[in-house]
Each structure stands twice: as C-alpha cells, then as structure tokens.
Structure 1
Amino acid sequence: MFLSKRIHLMFFCFAFALSISAQEKSKAIALKDILQSLERQHHVSFNYINNEIVSLKIIPPKKHLSLNKKIDYLEKKTNLSFENLDNKFINVFSNNTLDSKTICGYVFSKQDNSPLENVNIQLDNGSGTSTNKNGYFELKKEESTDLLISYIGFSTKKNLVSDLPNKNCLKIYLEVEVSQLNNIITNSFLTSGISKIIDGTFEIKPKRLGILPGLIEPDILQTMLQIPGIYSVDESISSINVRGGTHDQNLFLWNGIKMYQTGHFFGLISAFNPNLAHTISITKNGSSAFYGESVSSVVDISSNPNKFEKNNFSAGINMINADIYSRFNISKKGFLEIAGRKSISDFVQTPTYKQYYNKAFQNTSITNFSNNQNVDYSSDEKFNFYDITVKYSQKIGQKDNLIFDFITISDLLKVFQTARINNTIQSENNILYQKNYGGNLSWKRNWNTKNSSKFNFYTSSYELDAEKNKIQDNLIVRQENKVLENGFKLENNHILNSKLTFNNGYQLNEISTTNLDEVNGPIFYRKIKEVLRTHALIVEGKYNDTISKIYLNIGLRLNYIEQFKKYLFEPRLQFNYAITNHFNLALLGEFKSQYCYQVIDLQKDYFGIEKRRWILANNTTIPIQKSKQASISFSYSQNNWLFTLENFYKKVIGINSSSQGFQNQLEFVKINGDYEVLGMEMLAQKKINHFITWLSYTYNKNNYHFPNLEQPVFPNNFKLDHSISWAGIYERKNLKIALGSKWYSGKPETTPISSIINSSNPSNPKIDYNTPNNKVLDDFFQVNFSTTYKWESLNEIQYKLGFSVLNVFNRKNEINEYYRINTITNSIEDVKTFSLKRTPNLSFRITY
C-alpha cells in the first residue's frame, strides 16, 4: 500500500514537471512579435534589422513590468543591445563583432531621434549605399579616408574612416537646423537676417533682421526695396517695380492669401505688421510652379513659426502708429497669435505724419482745391489706418497640423474743405475708404517620413470706395472697385531618395471684379462685374546633391481658364552649381501669366490719390498678360567678401496702355503692346568684424513696343537706366547704426512741343507733345540714417529705442512731372511731384 502511494506520487511529480516544461516551451514566441506587442503597450517604436531577430524566440516578459525592466529582460535573454531614446525610439543592436573591413551604422534625426531612410552614405572613392527604413547601413571600408553622410533637409556630415570603430555599429545624428545653411549661398545679404537661397530666392527673417539705412523697424516692403533690381520710381511701396514691371504684376501672398492692398498711407508704409512675419521669400525670377497669377516677382510672407515658442507679448509706438503683439500657448500643441496696429493721427499729428501727408496728397484734387484760393480757405482732415492679424495653430496627433489665418487692412480718409470764391462759399466733403481682408484654412498631413500633403482653402476681398460731395451744387460722385477671390490649393510632397523629391498639386481660383461709377447730376450710372475661374495642375521635380553640389528644380504649371477655354503652359527652371567652395553659377527661367491687373481710367479717379482699379482680362481688348524671363548669375564668397553679378532678360506681352500710368498723349488711348527689359545687377559686400559695407549697381534697358503707334518703340515709364546704392552698417551687441545713400538717373517724361495750347478743336483743347518719354528727369539722390539700441531689465523685460532720418540733407528730388491745361489762365501748366523732405522718426518698443 505504501509502495503504491509512493509510485503514484512520483508519477504525479513527473507528469507535473513535464507539464511545466511543456508550458514553458509553449510560451516561447518570436522576438519580433514580442517587440510589436510592446510597441502597442508602451507607444514606442523599435528599430532593428529583421535578419538579426527573425530566428529568436523567447518567453515574453511579464506584462506588469515597466518598460525599462522589460528591456533589461530582453537583453539578458537575447544577447542584443537595446538603446532607449526618450521612451520613443528603441534601437536594437547586435553584439556580434563585425568584420574589420566592414562599416555599419544607424542614422537618426537629432531633432526627434527618428531613423532616417534613404540617407546617402558614400566613401570618397565613389562607392556608397543608403540606409533602410530603420536607418541602418553596411559598407566595406576599402581604401578610403572619408565617409560622407548626406540627406535632403539635413546637414552633410563627414567622418574619417580611420577613426571609425570596428566593433558594434555607428550611431550618427544629423541636424536639421544646420542643414539649411547648405542651401544658403549667402547668409548675410546686405545685413543680418537676409539670405540668398540656392534656388535664387531672397529670404528675410524680420525677427533676426539687422538694420538698414532709414529703417528702425523690419518693414517688409521697405526692406525689399534694398535688394538690387527692386525699386520704386515714386518712393511708394504701393508702386514697387521689379525689373521694370508695374506693382500689380507682383504677386503678394500673406500665408497663402493674395493681397490686393499692400500699403498704408497710400503707399508710404507697408500694410504688413513688421513684428509678425517670420519669413519673407522674394523671387525675382525662376519661381516655383506652385505660384501663378503674376508676370513679375513673387513675395511670399509666412508667419508660420518653425518651432514651438514660449508665450510673449510686445508693444511699440513710433511717430506714425502704435502696435501690439501677443502669442500664447493654449495647449501643449496649440497656440494663438494676435497682432494689431493703428495710426496715432487721431490723437496727435507728428512732424513725421505731416511730411507723409504732404508727400501722399501733393498734386491731387485734395490739395488742388486750395490752389489760388484766398485766405478764407480752410480744411479739416481726418486720416487713419489699422491692420489686424490672427493666427490659430493646432497639432493633431503626430501627423496633422491645422492652421487658421485671418488678416484685415483698412485706410480711411475724410477731408472737408471750404473756400470763399467771388463771395460764394464753395465746399467739398471727400471720403476715401480702402480695405483688404482675407482668411486661410490650412491642413498639413505627414503620411509618413517620405510623403506629406497640404490643403489650403482661402479667400481675399478688396474694396476701394470714394465719394465726393460738392455741397453747394448738391453734386455727388461715387466710385467703387471691388475684388473677391476664393480658392483651393492641394500640394503633395514626395521624397524619393536623399537627392530627389517630387511635388505635385492642383489649384482652383475664382476671381470677380466690380467697378462702379455714379453721378447724380447729370445722372450717370455704370457698373461692370466680371468673373474668371481657373484651374491649374502643377508638377515639380527637385534634385539636390550636396556632394556634387548641384541643385536642379524643374517645374511645369498647366493653367486652364474656363471662360476662354484656354490652356497656358508655364515651365519653370532653377539650376545652381557650386563650381568651387566659393564660386556659384545659377541659371533661372520662367514663363508666367496674369489675368487680373490694374488700369487707370482717369488720373483724377479716387481724387488722384489712388488712381488704379483692378479689372479682369477678356482675352480680346484686355488680353492675358504673359511673361518670359531668363537670367544667369555668378556669386563669389570668401574671407567675408561677397560679389554677385546677374544678367537678365525679361519680356511681358499683352500689357494695356491704361495700366502704365501715362500722363501724356497716351493718357486716354487704350492699346495693347509689350515691354522688353535687358539688364544687369551687381553687388560688392565686405564684412569686417562688426561692420558691413556694400555697394550695388543696376542697369536697365527697358522699352515699350506698341505696334499701332506711329513711333512704336520708346522708353518704359518705369525705366531707370542706372541705379547705385551704398550702405555702411555697424552692429555690436545691442547697438546698431546704419548710414546709406541711393542715386539713380531720372525717370522718363514727355514734354510739350510748344507752350501754346492747340485749340483747333475749341470744344476739346489739347497739348501737342513730343514723342513719348523723350526726356528724363534730373537725377535722384538721397542719404538716410538709422540707429537702434536695445537693453534688458533684471526681470527680463526687453526695451528697444530707434531713431531714423530719411533724406538727411533735405534734397529736393523731383520724382514725376507732367503737363495739364489751366482753364483759369488758359495756359499749359507744368506740374511736378517731389520726394519726401527730411523726415525724422522715433520708435520705442517693449517685449516680455
């Protein structure tokens, strides 16, 4: 009996042992499955070589253990190394000793420690490979000395082969921020904060901007005027000319919204808050195929920050306006940004305001009303402007980002004038209102490390209204110009490998313009509304080899205009080759088109202050404007010297004479033609410690061609044969000083043949002119000065004081001249317009 019990007990123990052994064996599963389970449990990502773990099976760690203890358990059971990077990425390495002739490694982004796929790994003898999706690579050493690691969007890294270990694998981290410098030809162009990029674009960072002559704030468009080839013949930033083009031929975008109003004070101040924008990209030629609707330059203003910032607030005031800026985080992944600016003329009219007012309104119906009046003349003027911008940004998960932008710009002028003429009181009440508002909803989706998409829904509305009320005659004249644009844009980006990217997209635009003219006596009413809808397909391929130093971007934009059933092909080209480490060659070219632009019906429209109104092409009497442009440039940079030389050719066809601002025999003629520009731009710049000095020179040969005229070829209204600018800038710690000058030959004018009025038609007397633009005005010369000083209190509040003087020597520069008939004296009157007189400005800003 006892023996029987012992046998049963031994059998039970043996069976239990077998059961335990079987259970342990059954619990052993593939390591890959264990890692995938841990990824779901702890929201991490394991990076490994599949061949190293495919044959391993172990019992999974207990679920209640922490992530670190589970990793320790796996290391003991597998003899592998596990590197935990911020509990996000865990790299799995083999502990096996590699062949002494083999190099292996993992490449990660230093920004987020994520593995980088398709990184270009190359030895200096030409052999190379690329990383897999886990960032891993293997390469034979051979007889080489240098290992180059390059990846688009990241800095190129170099390692000496002799310094590489033979055991384990390399862990290489590439930096994003430094990598951007590889695409920069010049990091301080004219001053700090302005760079020239490898694709020919000028990039301005207002928050990093140094100082420029005459500027104490980073005014976007005033800064733009410092770049060679960009100027304004009448000192107005509402009349910016890029290589001979008119202002409306430039495309101005604010966070994807097309802006139809760009200036306050009718062109003397930029309409964009200088304390808001993070990046301004300016392209004179060779623009991306994603930009349409312009035949001249592209100015893309983006206030999207590249990184998450802390809460901040700032406020400032100068002798024209006051502004506030606030940015605060509403969550870990979202922030709200608000900025506003308003003129202070409602409270005080400073000397700066008075000089601006005199410049903006000279020789308009506002000032002409007072001409030849007696001492009883009086005027009550009210002028103010404001702009407001709002941004809301929200990251959704790891792959999505939603951004909403809103902007509104407004200028209002009210002038009430009275005068006693022949014992009769004459009075006028003039109101001029100009505004532009827009909104943009943007959603960006990163599908994976190589593919992303961006969707934009945007709207822009522009309105210009004027009303003149001659009270004693009960005569009311109204004028109105409106533009409404709505659109959708899709952009897809694909990284094919470390050198090649492919982009494609689609854009839908609908633009409507309305023009109204109304008079109550005699009754006259005219209202014209036009609508155009366009579609665009975009493809673009970029090749960027940081080793061979070749950059190539080829794009194609296919436009289709519904109303005209017309297709337009627009190829684009950007090519840059670094011949040496210091010498660059660039080729740029583009075909572009534009079907919404400005014309002038009468020089007295909108009181002569803002004479231009937006219209749409009709493909007959008002053609689509088309441009083609090509340029070749060279740049040399070494030992803090910079030399640039660019030769360009530009031709724009389909221009209408009413868009060119003629004030001669062509003022009331509406014919179509083209203009052709051949020019050269040069810059020499030297930096010595804290001092930068530069000298630029621009030459333009710019002529119109109107085939229906008796003399079809003559100089362009915006032609400046020669232009020279110089500046000396000193920046050290918190003190910045800039002194500069600009000189250019006078713009063309048309003179009368005789001082006697042609009265052959008594009902329509006229002036007999010489051939168009037969003469040029006197040379323009101006010296400007500015300085700023910044300091910080113990509680980290930052203060900034600025002072500037425009036209230091108070030179009287004539910027325009035309002729008109004076009906009172029955003679030809010579009318001249002059630049700003000496104009000081003072600013103060506080930031915390």
Structure 2
Amino acid sequence: MNKPLLILISFLLSLSLSPLAYSQTQPNALPLIQILSELEKKHQVTFSYEPQTIANLSVKSLNPNYSLEEALQELRTNTPLNFKILNSRFITIALKIVKNEPQHTQRLNEVVVTNYLTKGISKLNNGTIKANTKGFNMLPGLIEPDVLQIIQNLPGIISIDERISNINIRGGTNDQNLILYEGIRMYQSGHFFGLISAFNPYLTEEISISKNGTSARFGDAVSSTIAIKSKDVIDHKTQASIGGNLLSVDGFAKTPISPKSEIQLSARRAYTDVMVTQTYDAYFERIFQDSELNNNNATNNALALDERFLFYDFNAKFLYDINATSKIRFNALAIRNRLDYNQAYISTEHRLEETKSKLNQLTYGASANYTKAFNSQFKSTVELYYSQYDLDAKNENVHDNLVLTQENKVEDYGLRLDFTKTVNTDLNINTGYQFNEVSVAYFEDVNAPNFTSYTKEIIRSHALFGEIEWYTPSRKTHIRLGSRINYFDQLATFKIEPRFSVNYQFFDFFRLEILGELKSQSITQIIDLQQDFFGIEKRRWQLANGNDVPLMTSEQASLGLSYNHNNLLVSVEGYYKVVNDITTRSQGFQNQYQFINTIGSYKVRGVDFLIHKRLGLFNTWLGYTYSKNDYHFETLNQGELFPNTLDLRHVANASLTYNKSALQLGMSFNWHSGRPYTSPSESQDANTNTIQYKAPNGARLEDYFRTDISASYRIDLSGNSNAEVGIALWNIFNQTNIINRYYTKDAEGALSEINNESLKFTPNFSVRINF
C-alpha cells in the first residue's frame, strides 16, 4: 500500500470511536421484542426496526388497558427509542438523538416484514433477509439455530446434495457465494465435510442474506452474500451455556472485563473419535459412500477398518468501547476437520496389506474493526481481516508402495475503509475503499512414478464503492443506488458494478420491490479429478488467470410483489440471472465433458413464491421455486443450450410449527424434481474404457422427498438458569433419495451405474443448560 493510504489509516486509528450502544435492563422486566409482539397482535400494527436497535432492551410490563398511543408513550419514556407512527399500520423504531452525542438520526434499513417465516427472521426494505438467532423460534428438522440450515428454508436457496458446504442460491454453485464471518471471508463453511455448519450456533447472533441488489460494500462473488455476526453490544451481563448432541459437545461464555469491555468465547468438539452414535453412522455413510475410503469402493477383502474422525471449532470476540464516540472489536476463529483412516485387507496374492489415509481441513481467521463517530451525521470504520484455509491429504498404500500427497492452501488479507454520512432522516451516503490480496497454492507429490508439482498464484484487488439511500417524504418509497469499481492487478482489468434496490409501499399492505446488480469474481473452485482428496472434498480453490480460468461476471434483475396484512404474507418474485466465464472444471461434470476444459456461461430464469400465515400459536408456510437453468458452451453440444447440473425445475417446502411458552414443535415436507444427469448410450464398445453417452444432462433423477420433525422444551431452573432439551428426526420415513448418478467402466469394459443417496433416517438429540 502507498504512503498516503498508510497515513490515512494511521489517522483513523488515532481517533477514538463511535458511541456506546445503549442497553437497558430493569428488575422483573420483559424483553422489548416480546412486548412489541404483543402490541402487534393486540392493535394489528407492524413495527419496523433494525434488530440491533432493540437488542437486549427490556422494560416492565405495560398496563393491559393502555391504548396504542399510551403504550408507545411509555416506551418512549423508558427506552432510548423513538416510535414514529407512519400510518394506521406501520410504526418505525429508531434511536433517539442525544444532545452532544453522535448517534444517527435514523437507520434507513427498516424492517418491512417481521416474522418472515418464523420469529426472528425479517426482511428489510433493501431486499436483505436477516435472521436473529437469539430471538429465534425453532424450524422443523433443527434442534439448534444452525445459520446455514436456517437459510435453506427461504425460497430460492437449497443444497442440492444436502451439504452445508454446497449451498446453491438461484442456481449458483457454493463457491459463488460470498460468506463473511465478522468480516472474515470464509473458504470453509462446514464440519463433517459439509453436513454441519462450521459456525457455532450459540455465538452467532445474526445472519444477513442478499440474493440480489447487494450493497456496493461487498464484492468478489457472482451469486449472493451471506454475512454472519455475533453479538456486538456490551450489556454488562455474564452469560454461559454448555450442551451437547449426538455428535459433539460445546460451551459458550460471555462476560464483562471492565465497564467498557467484554469478551465472548465459544468452543465445540466432536467426540466421534472415541464414541459413535446412530447419527454419526448416518453421516459417515452419506459422506464416504462415493469416496476412495468407502470399503465397497476400495476392496471387498477388508479384514479391519480403523477410522478416527473429529471436528472442532473455536471462536473469540473482544469488545471495547473506548468512549462515547468510538469502539473497537477483535475476532478470531479456528475450524478443523480431521480424518485418519486405515484399512487392512487380503490382497489378490493372499498377503495381508494395509492402506493408510489422512485428510485435514483447517481454517484460521482474525479481524479487527474500529469505528469512529465524528458527529451525529458522520462516522467512519476501518476493518482488517486475515483468512487462511488449508486442505491436505496423504494416502499411503503399502501394497503398491505408493504415497500420494495433495494440498490446497488459500491466504486472504483484506482492508476496508467505510465512511457514512447521514444527511437527514431521509438520506444516507456511504463510500469507501477495499483492498485484498489473495494467494492460492496447490501441491501434489507422488512417489511412483516420482512426480512433484507446486503452483502458487496471487491476485491483488482494489475497489472504490459508493451508494446513497433515500426515502420519499411519505416514507413509502425507499431507494438504494450504488456502484463498485474493481481493479485486479494481475489481470490488469477494471470492472464497474452498479447495484440498485427500490421498495415501494402502496394500498397500505402491498409492496413492490425491484432489485438489480452486476458482479465479478476472481476465485473459484475446480475439480481436476473426481477422486482428488479421496473424493471427499474434491474441489480445490483456484484464482483467475485471464486464460483458462477467466474472471467471472454476473448480471441479475428481479421484480417482486408482496401482500402483508392480518398475519398473512404472500410474496412472489421473478428473477433473471446470467453468470459468464465459468469453466467446465468448476461444474463437476461426470459425463463426456469430465476431462474437457472450456469456458461458457449459465442462465437462470425463475420465480420464488411464499405464503405464510400465523394462526395463534401456529405458524405455517409454503415456499415454492420454479426455475430453468441452462448452460451455454460454444465448443460443447454443438453450441446448443443444455440443462445445468444444478437445474432443479421445481422446489417446494411446506412447514408447520407450534410455539407455546417453553414448548416448540415443528414438521416440514421437502420436495424437488429430479436433478439432471447424463445417461450412457445403449451400445458400448467393450474394448475401451471410454463411455459413450447420450445428450448431456438429458435425463432426470427421480423426485426427491423428505419429511423432518423436531421438538424442544425449556425447563426453568433456579435463578436465571434454564435447561433446553431437543430432538430432531431427519427423513422420518427413511425415504431413499438419489441425489447424483454417474457411470464407470471397469478394466474389462463392463459398465456400472453409481448412485449417491441422501441421508437416511437420522435422529439427533440435544441437551443444553443456560446460566
């Protein structure tokens, strides 16, 4: 970085930061969010607010005979909030302006739909969906607030193979999503090689999802943005919890260090290396069925298997409010999956042989965030982060005297400067600069024949961004316009990416939403061979080089209409999305294009539909997506379009939940039409290992169907302590679902059909004590 930039950073870091977030508690008080929910039901109104605005606030119970205005006046008196009545239906909540203290006059990103699916999930006026896990009601099939499982209940979001590490948003691959944890870009998102979220659900507090119309602050991802945050307000309380389920145990603690500082710690560790359960067996069968480590794939003469698998994660956050105008936050995390797999068997020469395999997946990350409020209208933020991802595998085969080692390593350094100017309650301006340096290394070593390969690539990028947010005087229209200018050093390429979101309210209960964006991406995951890293985590990261791996770009626009009244929400959103300059190696082909490397695009046209109704203590919703997702490669299939590997034409989710005090129950039905695959020709040449195929992705698997149920119960203990017991049953009817199909030939030329199956019936049970 040049000298002027270093001087600017030094100047900003020498200043003292933004105001203390207000937190209020009273004896025998109720959470403010609970009181607001009661007022909404009683007076048929909707409160619009940013979740952080009311976080950790509590007040005494209101007089049940109060009118709406009387209730609002008491809340104005006893909280640091203003309550503004916009019309007979909507009331906005914002922080009060305090003299001589730089607090914002108005947060423009207001909630337009509360309880989007269930309590704790909201939709903002810029198209972003937020989930607050602390005020969250259970979703069917879940016993913990796993953030990456939660978002799959939203229309347009699904994992085609049930893996957390393979979330597909509007037809995109998982590597096309920008996943941020406290500002740290994540290159690993799952435990158990993708079946469990790598983010501890009891430290995480909020997740934001932007499927389109993304803020100009975020770049380098052509599909969507998923931002995950933990609690960011010092409330001078000590809290702790410990718990466990049929895979792991974990603990969380939050405690003040001084009146101005707090530390948050969480840790989780699997005990699968010392004890196995039915849940572990189901997960193991699901993940390893298509890998070299599956006994059925390796040898039929196994005498003994010795497997040791574990995962763990650790998170820490330090909060320090320097003074009334400034604050600083530090975050650190570590995530690991480790597998040791040894197999003893009788060889074809009737000798006792042994294979030894090891696979490690490791992530380290850290970030520092410094905020300074200069006055009531202007603040700045400096954010630094470091992210490291390392995937390595070693396979030692004694019989063949073969040792194969593979490693894929990513290092990412980032800096973001953010400046926000609040002109008035209706206008906000945000500008900033972002710098990133990303390096990707790949190492491979084999001893027979002797071969070693090592490559390392680096890309440095600079970005300037800016956007304005504006309300009309009636506050019925909200507009956000922005743009991002990226420069990629090694590619000598500029990319200009405009973004916009428009939200218009009419007839009190209707809203029209228009979103659009252009994006680019310089890093992607590719597959060289399907059995790389034993076929478990076969994708490896690679940077764009301007040649065989180009810089990807995307274009997306959407139009949505919603109706929200009397606890009924109906919304429909149509979208059009194009992603250019993808490579065949990033798409995981297992057909005639498996070993071809060429460049193309995919195009998605779809409609997301949601209907949600609250009936007393019951919540029910139906989400449905229709989409058509097609590839276009000039050199493949005579240049004709053919279905994307992720093309699911119909996806539906129907759910019902019941929530009463300490008891929560839920059931969901999940269905989607079959995934495309390529079937072989009827006639095959037995003298070659090459398979003759029909049209690419011209066949479809059978429909997928799964039913899940879950239940949880809270037991109050002494003092402020309580215990929570939960049970979840995944795929309760033990439905056999084929999620992938491909074909192989053996040495004699015989054709085999390989079917990958989804999780079978999988129970889980959890116990947690909160202090």
Structure 2 match to 1:777: 701
Matched, 1:338 2:294: no
Matched, 1:408 2:334: yes
Worse overlay, 442-451 or 363-372? 363-372
Where do residues 84-103 of structure 1 align in structure 2 (5 Å cutoff)? none
Partners of 2:503 and 2:512 within 8 A in 1:
yes
Structure 1 match to 2:725: 801
Worse overlay, 627-636 or 558-567? 558-567
The Cα shift of 1:794 comes to 2.7
Structure 1 match to 2:670: 742
- RMSD between aligned alpha carbons? 2.6
- Looking at structure 1, the residues matched to 738 and 267 of structure 2 have their Cα atoms a distance apart, in angstroms, of 35
* Cα 1:402/1:110, change in 2 over 3 Å: farther
- Looking at structure 1, the residues matched to 473 and 663 of structure 2 have their Cα atoms a distance apart, in angstroms, of 37
The one-letter code of the counterpart of 1:817 is R
The Cα shift of 1:305 comes to 2.6
* Cα 1:364/1:574, change in 2 over 3 Å: same
Partners of 1:261 and 1:436 within 8 A in 2:
yes
Partners of 2:216 and 2:482 within 8 A in 1:
yes
- Looking at structure 1, the residues matched to 599 and 649 of structure 2 have their Cα atoms a distance apart, in angstroms, of 24
Partners of 1:228 and 1:696 within 8 A in 2:
yes
* Cα 1:257/1:377, change in 2 over 3 Å: same
The Cα shift of 1:113 comes to 6.9
The Cα shift of 1:363 comes to 1.8
The one-letter code of the counterpart of 1:812 is T
Identify the match of residue 356 of structure 1 among 271, 283, 295. Answer: 283
SS in 1 for 2:258: coil
Structure 1 match to 2:759: 836
SS in 1 for 2:424: coil
Structure 1 match to 2:506: 579
Structure 2 match to 1:395: 321
Identify the match of residue 716 of structure 2 among 780, 792, 801. Answer: 792
- Looking at structure 2, the residues matched to 372 and 456 of structure 1 have their Cα atoms a distance apart, in angstroms, of 52
Partners of 2:214 and 2:225 within 8 A in 1:
yes
Identify the match of residue 649 of structure 2 among 684, 705, 721. Answer: 721
Structure 2 match to 1:733: 661
The Cα shift of 1:270 comes to 0.2
* Cα 1:669/1:773, change in 2 over 3 Å: same
Partners of 2:512 and 2:560 within 8 A in 1:
yes
The one-letter code of the counterpart of 2:693 is Y
* Cα 1:182/1:653, change in 2 over 3 Å: closer
The Cα shift of 1:348 comes to 1.4
- Looking at structure 1, the residues matched to 591 and 549 of structure 2 have their Cα atoms a distance apart, in angstroms, of 21
- With normalisation by structure 2, the TM-score equals 0.86
Deviations 1:542-578 (A, max 9, x none): 1024723111000110001111221100000011001
SS in 1 for 2:512: strand
Deviations 1:264-308 (A, max 9, x none): 001100000000111100110010000001000100001143452
Identity of aligned pairs, percent?
A: 38
Matched, 1:620 2:544: no
* Cα 1:835/1:149, change in 2 over 3 Å: closer
Runs of 4+ with >6 A deviation: 108-114, 119-122, 148-152, 176-182
* Cα 1:682/1:312, change in 2 over 3 Å: same
- Looking at structure 2, the residues matched to 755 and 278 of structure 1 have their Cα atoms a distance apart, in angstroms, of 57
Deviations 1:347-401 (A, max 9, x none): 3101101100100110210015665523x53210000000000000101121110
Structure 2 match to 1:47: none
Structure 1 match to 2:492: 565
* Cα 1:357/1:755, change in 2 over 3 Å: farther
The Cα shift of 1:487 comes to 1.2
Mark the structure with the bigger radius of gyration.
Answer: 1
- Looking at structure 2, the residues matched to 121 and 287 of structure 1 have their Cα atoms a distance apart, in angstroms, of 29
* Cα 1:843/1:180, change in 2 over 3 Å: farther
- Looking at structure 2, the residues matched to 385 and 757 of structure 1 have their Cα atoms a distance apart, in angstroms, of 45
The one-letter code of the counterpart of 1:714 is F
Where do residues 2-13 of structure 1 align in structure 2 (5 Å cutoff)? none
The one-letter code of the counterpart of 1:777 is L
Partners of 1:120 and 1:498 within 8 A in 2:
no
Matched, 1:644 2:571: yes
Partners of 1:645 and 1:683 within 8 A in 2:
yes
Partners of 2:234 and 2:319 within 8 A in 1:
no
Worse overlay, 454-463 or 792-801? 792-801
- Looking at structure 1, the residues matched to 128 and 236 of structure 2 have their Cα atoms a distance apart, in angstroms, of 26
Structure 2 match to 1:661: 588
- Looking at structure 1, the residues matched to 320 and 765 of structure 2 have their Cα atoms a distance apart, in angstroms, of 38
Matched, 1:672 2:595: no
- Looking at structure 1, the residues matched to 530 and 421 of structure 2 have their Cα atoms a distance apart, in angstroms, of 50
The Cα shift of 1:190 comes to 1.5
SS in 2 for 1:357: helix
Where do residues 191-202 of structure 1 align in structure 2 (5 Å cutoff)? 191-202=118-129
* Cα 1:667/1:737, change in 2 over 3 Å: same
Partners of 1:151 and 1:498 within 8 A in 2:
no
The Cα shift of 1:715 comes to 0.1
- Looking at structure 2, the residues matched to 269 and 457 of structure 1 have their Cα atoms a distance apart, in angstroms, of 28
Partners of 1:573 and 1:590 within 8 A in 2:
yes
* Cα 1:110/1:779, change in 2 over 3 Å: same
The one-letter code of the counterpart of 1:341 is R
SS in 2 for 1:301: strand
Partners of 2:105 and 2:376 within 8 A in 1:
no
Matched, 1:447 2:374: yes
Structure 2 match to 1:232: 159
SS in 1 for 2:293: helix
Deviations 1:158-207 (A, max 9, x none): xxxxxxxxxxxxx99xxx99987982121111211111111111101111
* Cα 1:293/1:531, change in 2 over 3 Å: same
Deviations 1:656-687 (A, max 9, x none): 00000100011100000000000001011110
- Looking at structure 2, the residues matched to 415 and 730 of structure 1 have their Cα atoms a distance apart, in angstroms, of 43
Structure 1 match to 2:136: 209
Where do residues 144-163 of structure 1 align in structure 2 (5 Å cutoff)? 153-154=94-95
- Looking at structure 1, the residues matched to 763 and 104 of structure 2 have their Cα atoms a distance apart, in angstroms, of 39
Matched, 1:517 2:444: yes
SS in 1 for 2:429: strand
Structure 2 match to 1:45: none
Structure 1 match to 2:468: 541
- Looking at structure 2, the residues matched to 783 and 149 of structure 1 have their Cα atoms a distance apart, in angstroms, of 37
Higher relative contact order (CA closer than 8 Å, sequence separation 6+): 2
Partners of 2:105 and 2:377 within 8 A in 1:
no
Matched, 1:609 2:536: yes
* Cα 1:371/1:623, change in 2 over 3 Å: closer
The Cα shift of 1:471 comes to 1.5
Partners of 1:254 and 1:302 within 8 A in 2:
yes
- Looking at structure 2, the residues matched to 447 and 549 of structure 1 have their Cα atoms a distance apart, in angstroms, of 30
- Looking at structure 1, the residues matched to 143 and 473 of structure 2 have their Cα atoms a distance apart, in angstroms, of 38
Structure 1 match to 2:398: 471
Structure 1 match to 2:734: 810
- Looking at structure 2, the residues matched to 354 and 546 of structure 1 have their Cα atoms a distance apart, in angstroms, of 60
Partners of 1:152 and 1:499 within 8 A in 2:
no
The one-letter code of the counterpart of 1:504 is T
Structure 2 match to 1:436: 363
Partners of 1:314 and 1:847 within 8 A in 2:
yes
Structure 2 match to 1:498: 425
Deviations 1:59-114 (A, max 9, x none): xxxxxxxxxxxxxxxxxxxxxxxxxxxxxxxxxxxxxxxxxxxxxxxxx9979979
- With normalisation by structure 1, the TM-score equals 0.79
The one-letter code of the counterpart of 1:780 is Y
Structure 2 match to 1:846: 769
Partners of 2:585 and 2:597 within 8 A in 1:
yes
SS in 2 for 1:804: strand
The Cα shift of 1:152 comes to 9.2
